[in-house]
Amino acid sequence: MNIYILGICGTFMAGIAILARELGFEVEGSDANVYPPMSNQLNDAGIVLHEGYQAERLSDDIDIFIIGNAITRGNPQFEHILNHNLHYISGPQWLFEQILKDRWVLAVAGTHGKTTTSSMLAWILHHSGLNPGYLIGGISHNLSRSAHLGEGPFFVIEADEYDTALFDKRSKFIHYHPRTLILNNLEFDHADIFEDLAAIKRQFHHLVRTLPGNALIIHNSDDADLDEVLALGCWSECLSFAAEQDKADFKLDENLNLYQRETKKYYRIELSQPGLFNAMNASAAALAARHAGVPLAMALEALRQFKGVKRRQEVIAEIDGVSIIDDFAHHPTAIELTLEALKPSTSGRLFAVIELRSNTMKMGVLASRIEQSLSSADVVLMCDSKELEWDIHAMAKNASTRVMIKKNVAQIIKLLVKICRKGDQIVIMSNGGFDNIHQKLIRAMQSRP
């Protein structure tokens, strides 16, 4: 069977392509922007990539088209598919029909930490010899790809609340029907498709409604919004974890020991990446693995060997004592947590270079939260853009830390090369390519006197 994927370089759709290739299908696809790390793993898997959506590129021997949720009406290839009455399907629906319906699905949902938690969980199961399948929106340093069929019953998936496709406006995770569900946290995001937080809560509750009675929901009981979702009705077993709530089934203390209230036992969490948020992700992953039969002690031993995920606090270069870090953070809460985690390890100054790329950030829906999220940085650098619907210059004036607005990436690089010195850390935060600033900055730093 020949499969063609529209939007193939998105983190989810790239995973779909990898899985389809493992099933033995011939796979190719198109995207408007082709960039690493997803483009690299697709090329390595022998999948043909096309940049742009020219309709004439579509051959007559395609059996089915899988449509990514970034595709809109007016896309030349999608219009060709409609005009010729060709067979098409969404990525989440294809995934369920071809793979998930026969597996024990372990899904990780929440506004933040999905990729890291999913990667941790997949690694624990792999380390325990269970050979899980997985589809994750990033590439772990412990696992070679973002997706893998696996051979056992278990399949780990990053369960995104974003919509499925232009012809299916339900959240992606509605298609997955998990038996183990992690609910990490819940905040307002995706302002381009959700009117308010209540609309997102409805989608999360729709997910809860799809679970069988013998499923397990592992939820963060510090999050009041998740409590409200479960209060709408829950028909499955629940297990809680927390850093603040004493009544949680499992609680992290200030030393990152995980306390089990029922047995009164403590378990030590040791990770290569710092911060309470990473420890919370690890707790959720270990508890989900426990539901699949992995003892907590074995799960925590696997986590000691977990090396993190590309683009999540990933140190990509160290030049003359200056560390350059890549991070996917693009929501104010994620930015704040990343900076808080990095600050204690910074002997010099912490520079935050932030791309306001997501639709939510461009619209300025969370503008009041952005300036609050920057306080752990010593200097913040951003690019001005005509796409922004709010005044970032006013935000820069009101922020508690120094925020500098530049015209373009070149100006940011020029400043960093001039003022950075030994002990400084530069964290670049974006959910996109950011005009290839990472490699440009590395080359410029290597070339400076």
Burial of 36 (0-12, 13-18, 19+ CB in 10 A): middle
Question: What's the pLDDT at 121?
Answer: 98
Single-letter code of the amino acid located at 152 = G
User: Residue 150's closest CA among 125, 171, 121, 172?
Assistant: 125
In our burial notation (b when 16+ CB lie closer than 10 A, e otherwise), range 393-428 reads eebbeebebebebbeebeebbebbbeebeeebbbbb
244-274 per-position pLDDT tens digit: 988 999 999 988 899 999 999 999 999 988 7
CA Rg, the chain, in Å? 22
d(CA 87, CA 218): 38
Q: For the chain, percent helix, then strand, then coil, each to nearest 5?
A: 35, 25, 40
For domain 99-304, the CATH class is: alpha beta
CATH code for the structural domain at 314-447: 3.90.190.20
d(CA 299, CA 292): 11
User: Residue 239's closest CA among 251, 255, 253?
Assistant: 251
Select the CATH number that applies to the domain covering 2-92 from these four: 3.40.50.720, 3.30.360.10, 3.90.226.10, 3.40.50.1010.
3.40.50.720
Extents of the domains making up the chain: 2-92, 99-304, 314-447
291-346 per-position pLDDT tens digit: 999 999 999 999 999 987 777 788 889 999 999 999 888 788 888 888 988 998 89
User: Residue 22's closest CA among 166, 151, 143, 137?
Assistant: 151
d(CA 332, CA 252): 24
- Whether this model's pTM surpasses 0.85: no
Question: What's the pLDDT at 188?
Answer: 77
